[in-house]
Amino acid sequence: PNEGVGSRIMLTSQRENVALFTIGIKSHVCYLNGLARNDAWNLFCKKAFQQFSGGRPKGLEVLTRELAEKCRGLPLALIALAGVMSSKRFEREWRMTCNSLSSELSGTDEPLLKTMTNILWLGFSDLPYPLKRCFLYCCLFSEDYWIIPERELGSGLQRDLLER
């Protein structure tokens, strides 16, 4: 980059050694922190209870705080987990999910990566079977690939999956 005209290259990474790698160019590493505890809880509640007309149910406050804590302030994790929890109506379902995450997140050497992986996996595993198949089918294509249903979907079953 030509610093005289203000050009920049921005690289994002979860690994510090990648961020610190230079190729003879002046660099600056910006460390991003997760959301503050209260902000994380508010974001989680906004997504998890958006369809509740009465706001946050009082009986779920302790579990809500515990689940929000497990996301370690990561906005993507908060939104993904809250989206899963928004479909759960009973305290028993919330407690089962909370206990499941507790056991899966213990004893890891890369806690943030493990947290994100487990929370996103929970979102996937909570999908109905036909949507899982559709999701996995779409994963066969590269990120910028244009999926043309008439060409790519030979069978009626695959077409039905995408229409759902």
In tens, the pLDDT along 128-153 reads 888 888 878 777 777 777 777 665 45
Residue type at position 141: F
pLDDT score of 158: 53
Q: Is 57 helix (H, G, I), strand (E, B) or coil?
A: coil
Long-range pairs of 44-52 with CB within 8 A, sequence gap ≥ 24: 44/68, 44/71, 44/78, 44/81, 44/82, 45/82, 46/82, 47/78, 47/79, 47/82, 47/83, 47/86, 48/82, 48/83, 48/85, 48/86, 49/86, 50/86, 51/86
Q: 162: pLDDT confidence band, cut at 50, 70 and 90?
A: low
pLDDT score of 39: 93
Q: 105: pLDDT confidence band, cut at 50, 70 and 90?
A: low
CB 133 within 8 A of CB 124: no
> Picking from 70-74, 99-103, 121-125, which range would have the lowest pLDDT averaged per residue?
99-103
What tokens appear for 100 in the block?
């499941």
As a whole-number percent, the residues of the chain with pLDDT over 90 amount to 5
Does pTM top 0.75 for this prediction?
no
pLDDT score of 43: 92
Minimal CA–CA distance to 132: which of 160, 154, 159, 161? 161
CB 66 within 8 A of CB 108: no
Residue type at position 65: R
pLDDT by residue (tens digit) across 43-98? 999 988 887 766 666 778 888 888 888 888 888 889 888 888 888 878 888 888 88
